[in-house]
Structure 1
Amino acid sequence: MTPPPFDRELADVLETLRALRPLLATLDDIPARRELNAAEHRTVEELAAAYPVYKVAEEYAGHVPLLVMRPEESAGVLYYVHGGGTIVGSHLGGDVPNLLAWAGELNLTIVSPGYRLAPEHPYPAPVEDCYDGLLWTVEHVAGPLVVGGVSAGGGLAAGTTLLARDRGGPAIAGQLLLCPMLDDRNDSPSAIDLDGLGLWDRTANNVGWIAYLGDRRGTEDVPAYAAAARATDLAGLPPTFLDVGTAETFRDEVVAYASRLWRAGGDAELHVWPGGFHGADSLVPEAAISRAARAARLTWLRRLLGQ
């Protein structure tokens, strides 16, 4: 099959980005990728200086560190899980500036968990860390609660939301799943057709899932809380926003998840951005398609929160 083309503005910078972020091939590549990502990490003090309209602190839910950024008047909370394939990244990392560039308009308190990373801490450690952080959040921050995340963080957000449903709480107003990593089987047409292309391909995706699940990856012994696409019942979930690019590995699994939410009677809004590659809106923020993606999220959140 012929893969879809990249958006013109995105294609112009893709090769430069690939040189800076080479595709993962094996588990042995993880240390180098972590070193690369570490350059994007900020201290709490640096974040406080960069965003003076927030009261910035690092709190703890047991052993789980939480970045907490409170505006002067909070209208609710966005519990946001960072990306990184479950193997790299930090709650103090590069997701924060991009997140605040669009979510900052809503006067939401941002809480971001520093979950433990695979392969040192495979399933269920990362998603249980996210759930523990969620429990802390509802105890310490008032207002409607939206659970969200990007890439692996989107997958962990979906798993955390399923845990909250099945454990009887806490109540979640909505889930915001941005190009989420949902299916360990990694065998959709988009995963196959786009292998070797973009910034996160099928091969890299296998590295992330193997680190997270080990020998369970791709078998029938994978719980829905590890890979939300495995859930047999999607009823009773909160309103959901999903977005993904046409030119990325996760396209078909995200579209399938949205379709299954609708079939279960759920409220879901899906955006499939033509020519978008994985993480494009944060990496090429000035592209027209990136601006449209952020605007769509804001519109959904405003409607959800009654702003």
Structure 2
Amino acid sequence: MTGTNDVYPSTTPRPPFDPEIVPVLEVMREAMPPFTAENLPALRRALAEGLPGVEPTDLTVGGTVQVDERDVPGPDGNHDITLLILTPAGQHGPLPAIYHIHSGGMVVGDRRTQIEMLLPYVAEGLAVVVSVEYRLAPEHPDPAPVEDCYAGLVWTAKNAAKLGIDPGHLIIGGASAGGGLSAGTALLARDRAFPRLTHQILVCPMLDDRLRTPSSRMLDGEGMWDRNDNLFGWTALLGERRGGSDVSPYAAPARAEDLADLPRTYIDTGSAETFRDEALIYAQRLSQAGVSVDFHMWGGGTHGFDLMAAHTQLARASIAARDEFIRRALER
């Protein structure tokens, strides 16, 4: 049975936002309308157009990165999905791959969303990055998004030699919805016994459709991705099934009963964000299942603070910790 905002009242106190982040939050809340069916087309256009006066990211990084796009078979054989493939120019020998799944609450974003976070690893010749463009809800509800992500991962692994990828060194990762889809895709890869992943990087991941944790209730009209946005995103993905018993763990990985034999995991979250508790619980359960976990909770951080307030001390610390993990993962 689906829930409403009245079913899950905001009764939980939240930790304070980091003072450096507060001015940025105020600007972002004014600039970004809430996620609703009426606002969704405008939100998608705004994301596609980018910020006014900000030049699009140079994916070639001055010619050090080769950019390719491939349409590959989707999970049902009736549609293709597009992969953005970033390769170090003039690479020699197979490299680790980072399979990237973009953010956007399951309802916005594309294969280029937040890809700039991974460009340094390609430009430095450390990795090949493959970013998948999965179908979005509500037009394409579950299981379309996670099955698209898995189909792209399978194609990447099967074509590793052509892509200059080491098939034994595959890392999956993403932020927010991309983190949730990464976790779901990793579960699919484990349960379908292909491909074998070495690491998963779950940045403030969207894992639980039930909206029962204290952190999922504590933000109402403040921060980024509050309980109202979260309800919209999960309902877009799951419809009437949201919060009920008929939801797959591949769609909502917090529901997975068995977390054993998953890849080494990095999880981070802010202390003042909607996904705090589900990230914390997932990290704990992974560790209890025998998975090696690096978990970071950043005091005062709200959702996406590392991107929207990258100049702050808190964001710099979180980015540095994640970067250090990724570099170790690439070295293995």
Normalised by the length of structure 1, the TM-score is: 0.93
1:37 is matched with 47
One of 174, 186, 195 as aligned partner of 2:199: 174
Tell me the secondary structure at the aligned position of residue 8 of structure 1.
Answer: coil
Q: Tell me the CA shift for residue 103 of structure 1.
A: 7.2
1:241 aligns with 2:266: yes
1:249-264 alignment, distance < 5 Å: 249-264=274-289
Q: Which has the larger radius of gyration?
A: 2
1:196 aligns with 2:206: no
Percent identical pairs in the alignment equals 47
Normalised by the length of structure 2, the TM-score is: 0.86
Q: Tell me the CA shift for residue 191 of structure 1.
A: 1.4
C-alpha distance 264-60 of structure 1, shift in aligned 2 (>3 A) = same
Tell me the secondary structure at the aligned position of residue 148 of structure 1.
Answer: strand
1:302 is matched with 327
Unpaired segments of 5 or more residues in structure 1? none
1:146-185 alignment, distance < 5 Å: 146-185=171-210
1:22-61 alignment, distance < 5 Å: 22-24=33-35, 26-40=36-50, 47-61=58-72
Alpha-carbon contact 1:159-1:227 (below 8 Å) kept: yes
Alpha-carbon contact 2:95-2:128 (below 8 Å) kept: yes
2:314 is matched with 289
Q: Tell me the CA shift for residue 203 of structure 1.
A: 0.6
1:69 is matched with 86
Tell me the secondary structure at the aligned position of residue 233 of structure 2.
Answer: helix
Alpha-carbon contact 1:6-1:277 (below 8 Å) kept: yes
**Root-mean-square deviation over aligned CA pairs:** 1.9
Alpha-carbon contact 2:260-2:290 (below 8 Å) kept: yes
2:6 is matched with none
1:209 aligns with 2:234: yes
Alpha-carbon contact 1:59-1:67 (below 8 Å) kept: yes
Q: Tell me the CA shift for residue 105 of structure 1.
A: 5.1
Alpha-carbon contact 2:218-2:227 (below 8 Å) kept: no
The separation in 2 between residues aligned to 1:105 and 1:227, in whole angstroms, is 35
1:37 alignment partner AA: L
Alpha-carbon contact 1:241-1:270 (below 8 Å) kept: yes
2:144 is matched with 125
Alpha-carbon contact 2:98-2:127 (below 8 Å) kept: yes
1:136 is matched with 155
Aligned pair count reads 302
Tell me the secondary structure at the aligned position of residue 149 of structure 1.
Answer: strand
One of 55, 78, 100 as aligned partner of 1:80: 100
Unpaired segments of 5 or more residues in structure 2? 1-11, 74-79
Q: Tell me the CA shift for residue 100 of structure 1.
A: 2.5
Higher helix share: 1
Alpha-carbon contact 2:266-2:325 (below 8 Å) kept: yes
Q: Which moved more, 1:221-230 or 1:15-24?
A: 15-24
Q: Tell me the CA shift for residue 50 of structure 1.
A: 4.7
1:107 is matched with 126
